Amino acid sequence: MEKCSFCGREKKDVNILIAGISGHICDSCINQAHDIIDEELKSTSDFDIGSIKLLKPKEINAFLDQYVIGQQQAKKFLSVAVYNHYKRLAQSKPDKDEIEIEKSNIILVGETGTGKTLLARTIAKMLHVPFTIVDATVLTEAGYVGEDIESILTRLLQAADYDVNSAERGIVFIDEIDKIARKGDNPSITRDVSGEGVQQGLLKLLEGAIVNVPPQGGRKHPEQKMIPVDTKNILFVCGGAFDGIEKKISQRMNTQVVGFGASKENENIDRKNFLQYISPVDLKSFGLIPEIIGRLPVLTYLDPLDRETLRNILTEPKNSIIKQYIKLFGMDDIELSFDEQAFEYIVDKAVEYKLGARGLRSICEVIINDAMFELPSEEVKEFKVTLEYAQKKLGSSSLSKLKVA
């Protein structure tokens, strides 16, 4: 009679019984052994900065250049912040001079489709510390429908495989930070549960505090087991579009210049890119509370995408849109190619629709969708997208009816 050599159960009592040279093991014992190994590895694992090759800011920037076109200012700030974060981890305790390096949380401001989330995802590819991207739009005050502030750290714990030591040295990218802006200065009957209240809750996380985190996320309840996480060494990078903040910047700059020199001062202002003049005052006017602005000391911006940048985004990056389509068609043994005029047409339409880099993807999907539907079933080895083909497909789609304000 065949039975498990570990637990003694017979073959009829288990789902699977795997035979070895001189014994057998059942699926239940395999699962238990796997859990035991996981626990042992977690208990012995610890973060060791000495085992990591510390990339210099220029090396981090060069890695970002492979995937993100332009945005040199934002890449420079991000590279320095990540480099300093690693150096802070290397300083386990202050030196004899008792100088302790403080972390510099960052806030990135840029229009939609300029690459804020892409920068975060790209930097995550090269990091040796736990990294997670969370969305601020789902956060609410404790006690309301939505996610608690602590769910941010739950995601980081999951990225660190619940190794608290590693999680406490991680990096968190909070996307859509502008969506938790204060809705207005006027008191309202309805409570702003996803605005200022969330900002107040984020203060302790950004500054550094020991936070009790529910391991599986969701709501806290008294009998639940909590995991204490110290956020002192966690670097927070926040990003947001801050739609409409250009008006507040222009108002501030116009009120600053008074007198005969006003016209000369105004001549030097680049009115196509007001974001380059952004300051903490503008974030306060938009609706971020002063306390949270103070805990995000590094403020930088992303440039709006001009026509030349959009053209490069289409084909240049390591993971460019066109290279992805060529790969998809190649998996069906179809060689995909584009006319240069077709590229120019796609870029022109992206500029017209003002959707940033995401607009390029939307336009390409419309143009190539019919080919992706039909060609895999046909005996076709080559497919070329011409200007006429692109115009025909885009002209007959609903995207061509898009009205630009």
What is the per-residue pLDDT across 36-64, written as a single tens digit (0 to 9) for each? 887 776 554 444 555 556 789 999 999 99
Question: Can you count the helices (H) and strands (E) in the chain?
Answer: 16, 11
Q: How far apart are CA 251 and CA 299, in angstroms?
A: 20
CA distances for 182 relative to 4, 196, 236, 241, 251, angstroms: 63, 5, 20, 15, 20
Quick one: pLDDT band at residue 355, thresholds 50, 70, 90?
Answer: confident
Which helix H or strand E contains 382, and what residues bound it?
strand 382-385
Of the listed ranges 15-19, 172-176, 183-187, 305-309, the one predicted with least confidence: 183-187
Beta bridge partners of 26: 17
CA angle in degrees (0–180, nearest 5) for 401-404-405 = 140
Q: How far apart are CA 242 and CA 107, in angstroms?
A: 11
Query: Token match 């995401």: residue?
Result: 358
Q: In sequence order, what are the residues at sequence separation of 6 or more whose Cβ sits closer than 8 angstroms to the Cβ of residue 340?
A: none
Query: Token match 């120019």: residue?
Result: 344
* pLDDT over 70, % of the chain: 84
Write down the pLDDT at residue 103. 84
pLDDT tens digit string along 238-279? 999 898 898 888 888 875 545 555 555 566 677 778 888 899
Average of pLDDT values for 328-343?
A: 93
CA distances for 295 relative to 149, 298, 397, angstroms: 16, 9, 47
Highest mean pLDDT out of 75-79, 151-155, 250-254: 75-79
Average of pLDDT values for 341-346?
A: 93
**Which residue, 379, 385, 388, 344, is CA-closest to 365?**
385
Check pLDDT > 60 for residue 395.
yes
Write down the pLDDT at residue 213. 87
Check pLDDT > 80 for residue 220.
no
- Mean pLDDT, the chain, integer: 83
pTM for the full predicted model: 0.75
Written as six digits, the tokens of 343 are 């590229």
Check pLDDT > 70 for residue 5.
yes
Query: Beta strand 17-19 with 24-26: parallel, antiparallel or unpaired?
Result: antiparallel
Check pLDDT > 60 for residue 364.
yes
Q: How far apart are CA 120 and CA 114, in angstroms?
A: 12
Sign of the CA dihedral running 190, 194, 195, 198: positive
Contact call for residues 168 and 231 (beta carbons, < 8 A)? yes
Quick one: pLDDT band at residue 237, thresholds 50, 70, 90?
Answer: very high
Quick one: pLDDT band at residue 20, thresholds 50, 70, 90?
Answer: confident
Q: How far apart are CA 42 and CA 157, in angstroms?
A: 13
One-letter amino acid of 255: T
Write down the pLDDT at residue 86. 82
Q: In terms of DSSP H, where are the helices of 127-169? A: 151-159, 164-167
Write down the pLDDT at residue 358. 84
